[in-house]
Amino acid sequence: MITVSALTKRYGQRVAVEDMSFDVAIGRVTGFVGPNGAGKSTTMRMMVGLTRPDFGDVRYHGISYTRLRHPARVVGSVLDAQCMHPGRTARQHLRAAAAFSRISARRVDEVLIEVGLESAADQRAGGFSLGMRQRLALAGALLGEPEVLLLDEPSNGLDPDGIRWLRNSLREFADRGGTVFVSSHLIAELAMFADDLVVVGGGKLLAAEPLQTTLARADSVVVVRTAHAAELARLLQDHAIDVDVAGDCLSAHGTTTADVSQLVFDHRIQVLEITEATRSLEEILLEMTGASTEFASSSARNFTPRTTR
Amino acid sequence: MNTTTLSRPDTPTVRHMTRDRRDDFAAVPAAVRSEWIKLRSLRSTPAILGLTVIIGLLLSLILATFVKTDPNTGEVFTVGETFIFSTWLSTVLAIVMGTLLFTSEVQHGTLPNAIAAQPARWVIVVAKATIGSCFGLAMGVAGMIAGFSGAVIGGLEAGDTSGMATTALWGLMLTSLAPVFGLGVGMIIRHSAAAASTVLVWALVIENLIQGFAPANLSRLLVFSAANGLLGIQSAGDTPETMAAALTKVQDAFLFSGYTLMILAIGTAVLYRRDPR
The model's pLDDT over B111-150, given as tens digits with 9 standing for 90+, comes to 999 999 999 999 999 999 999 999 999 999 999 999 999 9
Average pLDDT, rounded, for chain B: 89
Residue B78, classed as helix, strand or coil, is strand
Q: For A293-308, b where at least 16 C-beta lie within 10 A, e where not — what string?
A: beeeeeeeeeeeeeee
Question: What is the model's pLDDT at position B110?
Answer: 93
Residue A292 confidence class, pLDDT cut points 50, 70, 90: low
Question: What is the model's pLDDT at position A294?
Answer: 60
In chain A, residues 163-192 whose CB comes closer than 8 Å to chain B: 165, 169-170, 172-173, 176-178
Instruction: Give the pLDDT confidence of B75-92 residue by residue, as tens digits.
Output: 888 998 899 999 999 999
Burial class (CB within 10 angstroms; exposed 0-12, middle 13-18, buried 19+) of B274:
exposed
Rg over alpha carbons for chain B, rounded to the nearest Å, is 22
Residues in chain A: 309
Instruction: Give the pLDDT confidence of A231-265 residue by residue, as tens digits.
Output: 999 999 998 888 988 888 998 887 888 889 999 99
Between helix B121-153 and helix B44-62 the angle, nearest 10°, is 30
Asked if B6 lies within 8 A of A172 by C-beta distance, the reply is yes
How many angstroms separate the CA atoms of B185 and B127, rounded?
16
Question: What is the model's pLDDT at position A286?
Answer: 80
Question: Which residue among A67, A92, A142 places its CB closest to the CB of B41?
Answer: A92
Burial class (CB within 10 angstroms; exposed 0-12, middle 13-18, buried 19+) of A282:
middle
Residue B73 confidence class, pLDDT cut points 50, 70, 90: confident
Residue B1 confidence class, pLDDT cut points 50, 70, 90: low
User: Residue A125 in contact with residue A84, Cβ under 8 Å?
Assistant: yes
How many angstroms separate the CA atoms of A95 and A105, rounded?
6
Please state the three-class secondary structure of chain A as a single string. Answer: CEEEEEEEEEECCEEEEEEEEEEECCCCEEEEECCCCCCHHHHHHHHCCCCCCCEEEEEECCEEHHHECCHHHHEEEECCCCCCCCCCEHHHHHHHHHHHCCCCCHHHHHHHHHCCCHHHCCCEHHHCCHHHHHHHHHHHHHCCCCCEEEEECCCCCCCHHHHHHHHHHHHHHHHCCCEEEEECCCHHHHHCCCCEEEEEECCEEEEEEEHHHHHCCCCCEEEEECCCHHHHHHHHHHCCCEEEEECCEEEEECCCHHHHHHHHHHCCCCCCEEEEECCCHHHHHHHHHHHHCCCCCCCCCCCCCCCCC
Question: What is the model's pLDDT at position B240?
Answer: 74
**DSSP one-letter code for B7:** P
Among the listed residues B246, B236, B237, the one whose alpha carbon sits nearest the alpha carbon of residue B216: B246
Between helix B87-107 and helix B192-201 the angle, nearest 10°, is 160
- CA dist list (Å): B138 to A3, A94, B49, B120, B170: 49, 26, 8, 28, 14
Question: What is the model's pLDDT at position B2?
Answer: 47
Instruction: Give the pLDDT confidence of A30-51 residue by residue, as tens digits.
Output: 999 988 888 999 999 999 999 9
**CB within 8 A of A22, min separation 6: which ones?**
A4, A198, A205, A208
Which residues on chain B are in Cβ contact (under 8 Å) with A146? 9
Question: What is the model's pLDDT at position B4?
Answer: 60
Which of A124-138, B175-189, B209-223 holds the top average pLDDT?
B175-189
CB contacts < 8 Å between A and B, how many?
A: 150
A61 torsion bin: left (phi>0), alpha (psi -120 to 50), beta (else): left
Residue A27 confidence class, pLDDT cut points 50, 70, 90: very high
Question: What is the model's pLDDT at position A300?
Answer: 46
Lowest mean pLDDT among A204-213, A297-306, B251-260: A297-306
- pLDDT over 90, % of chain B: 65
Among the listed residues A27, A54, A43, A29, the one whose alpha carbon sits nearest the alpha carbon of residue A206: A43
Residue B14 confidence class, pLDDT cut points 50, 70, 90: very low
In chain A, residues 199-218 whose CB comes closer than 8 Å to chain B: none
pLDDT at B244 over 90: no
Q: Cα torsion at B65, B67, B68, B74 (round to 10°)? A: 180
How many angstroms separate the CA atoms of B151 and B78, rounded?
8
- B104 vs B240 pLDDT, higher one: B104
The minimum CA-CA distance between A46 and chain B, rounded to whole Å, is 10
Question: What is the model's pLDDT at position A295?
Answer: 56
User: Rounded to two decimals, what is the model's pTM?
Assistant: 0.85
Question: What is the model's pLDDT at position A255?
Answer: 83
Question: What is the model's pLDDT at position A285?
Answer: 80
Residue B48, classed as helix, strand or coil, is helix
Question: What is the model's pLDDT at position B237?
Answer: 65
Instruction: Give the pLDDT confidence of A47-89 residue by residue, as tens digits.
Output: 999 999 999 999 998 899 999 999 999 999 999 888 899 999 9
User: Residue A250 in contact with residue A223, Cβ under 8 Å?
Assistant: yes
Asked if A83 lies within 8 A of B110 by C-beta distance, the reply is yes
Which residues on chain B are in Cβ contact (under 8 Å) with A172? 5-6
How many angstroms separate the CA atoms of B91 and B224, rounded?
10
The minimum CA-CA distance between A190 and chain B, rounded to whole Å, is 18
The minimum CA-CA distance between B204 and chain A, rounded to whole Å, is 31
How many angstroms separate the CA atoms of A231 and A268, rounded?
11
Question: What is the model's pLDDT at position A272?
Answer: 92
Question: What is the model's pLDDT at position B243?
Answer: 74
- pLDDT over 70, % of chain B: 92
Which residues on chain A are in Cβ contact (under 8 Å) with B5? 114, 169, 172-173
Q: Which helix (H) or strand (E) holds B126?
A: helix B121-153
pLDDT at B185 over 60: yes
The minimum CA-CA distance between B260 and chain A, rounded to whole Å, is 25
Q: What is the dihedral sign for C-alpha A120, A126, A132, A138?
A: positive
Question: What is the model's pLDDT at position A281?
Answer: 77
Measured from the Cβ of residue A35, the count of other Cβ atoms closer than 10 Å reads 19
Which residues on chain A are in Cβ contact (under 8 Å) with B17? 69
How many angstroms separate the CA atoms of A274 and B125, rounded?
69
Residue B26 confidence class, pLDDT cut points 50, 70, 90: very high
Burial class (CB within 10 angstroms; exposed 0-12, middle 13-18, buried 19+) of B179:
buried
Lowest mean pLDDT among A10-14, B8-12, B159-163, B264-268: B8-12
Phi and psi at B83, nearest 5°, equal: -60, -25
pLDDT at A308 over 80: no
Question: What is the model's pLDDT at position A3?
Answer: 94
Instruction: Give the pLDDT confidence of A161-206 residue by residue, as tens digits.
Output: 889 989 999 999 999 999 999 998 888 888 888 999 999 988 999 9
User: Residue A174 in contact with residue A24, Cβ under 8 Å?
Assistant: no
- pLDDT over 70, % of chain A: 94
pLDDT at B7 over 80: no
